[in-house]
Amino acid sequence: MNAPAKGTAGFAGVAHEEALARARALVPALRERAARAEEARIMLPETLADLHRTGLLRILQPKRWGGMELDFVAYIDIPCELARGCASTGWNAANLLIHHWMMALYDERAQEEVWGENPEALIASGIAYPQGQGRAADGGFVISGRWNFSSGVNVADWNMLAVTVRDGDKVLDHRMCLLHKSEYEVVDDWQVLGMRSTGSMTVVAKDVFVPAHRALCMYEARGGDKFPGARGNPHPIFRVPLSTLGSHGIGGVAAGNAQAALELSIEVVKQRSTNYTGLKMRDFQAVQLRIGQAGSRIDAACQILRNDCIEGQEIANRNVIAEPEKKLRFKRNLAYAVSLCTEAVDILHAMAGANGIYDGYPIQRIFRDAHALAGHFSFSTDAQFSTWGLAALGGEVVNPTL
């Protein structure tokens, strides 16, 4: 399904609270569709239509292209709210909307190629640099690779693919190369434990020429205003460092998924606490403790994620670039926040006992989704804790895109 045709009304006048209300209004429908979407293994057409209609994929797109251009904290709030209805929908939305934000960093010619034709064009990604190889060519780069986990690729018109540019064995550059869907192959290999309706299939490209204006250098996306699209897109949100806070939105999905588990668990407990039964489930202290433990973890995770994005926005407002230790702290915080959400879901799922293994149990899918999404590298506490620890202890952290 392609995006709506050019000429669709823009969303430049929509404020944060209105966008959040639109996301909240979709939650009941997303919960109702979740099982069907999981069976389909992609985002359902009616859900995609809802996201286009409400403009929720365009919350970080520049206003001059019809987007809302909201403050960066919206990158947490909107995916989190959508994930209360369906984690896969929240995940796809987080990815698709951050790619609109990333598109604003590109050269004006690339923006015109994508948004000039259709300002609602969807863009997927493959973010692992080792999976893509590139070499400099006259006027651009020639790239090849095989990138897995390209969420929403089945509905995307474009794809941002991470490439390590080499001259022999020497690494010269790291680029996000923008390819049209006619330039790559999609391999339907998405048969997985959880997050099934994200359609996160594999993308393959071989010897594709990418003009330089469609190959964003990641050293120019580390914060500040040196990126190619800065003149046309001067809003401070585009100065937020990509590798530092670019995954916080999918962390918000973990929080929304956990919040859904809490809400549904509370419903179950209330149903088993009526006057028609001899015992009220809510009166068991063990149940009370689990509800309290889960709720506190979810609230803490949300605050951590939101505070990071607010601080990142404040740094961008001053047009300065955060020091590496602070950037690594944000990445550490993201991993910790997601671990809190996973713990919360586990606490609630365990409360179900044997009932928790049934497909029809309210949080069985949420449990699988929580553990599936937690495998994302950005959420690895081993990787993110140790890297920040090294920096805090005065060691050298080698990460050219940081």
DSSP per-residue letters across 235-291: -GGGGS-HHHHTTHHHHHHHHHHHHHHHHHHHHHHHHTTSTTSSS-GGG-HHHHHHH
Helix (H, G, I), strand (E, B) or coil at 44: coil
From the options 1.10.540.10, 1.10.10.10, 3.40.50.300, 2.20.28.120, give the CATH code of 16-115.
1.10.540.10
What is the length of the chain? 402
Q: What is the pLDDT of residue 276?
A: 58
Decide: residue 189, CB within 10 A, 0-12 exposed, 13-18 middle, 19+ buried.
exposed
Helices (H), ranges, 105-199: 108-115
User: Which residues share a beta bridge with 125?
Assistant: 160
Q: What are the percentages of helix, strand and coil residues in the chain, rounded to 5? A: 55, 15, 30
The mean pLDDT values, 10 residues at a time, for the chain of 402 residues are 47 98 98 96 98 98 98 98 98 98 98 96 97 97 98 97 96 98 98 97 98 98 96 97 97 98 94 70 91 98 98 97 96 98 97 85 94 97 97 95 94
pLDDT of the residue at 283: 86
C-alpha dist (Å) from residue 359 to 89, 166, 373: 19, 48, 19
Res 354: pLDDT: 82
- Which residue, among 231, 396, 235, 242, has the nearest Cα to 324 in the 3D structure? 396
Domain ranges of the chain: 16-115, 123-217, 242-392
Pick the CATH number of 242-392 from 3.40.190.10, 1.20.140.10, 3.40.50.720, 1.10.3720.10: 1.20.140.10
Long-range CB contacts (within 8 A, 24+) of 311-314: 312/72, 312/240, 312/241, 312/244, 312/245, 313/71, 313/72, 313/73, 313/236, 313/237, 313/240
| Cα(86)–Cα(44) distance, integer angstroms | 12
Q: How many CB atoms lie within 10 A of CB 206?
A: 12
Q: Indicate the CATH number for domain 123-217.
A: 2.40.110.10
Per the DSSP assignment, residues forming a β-bridge with 180 are 158
Residue 271's pLDDT is what? 86
DSSP 127-140: --GGGEEEEEETTE
Distance of CA 14 to the CA centre of its chain: 21
Q: CA nearest 103: which of 205, 226, 221? A: 221
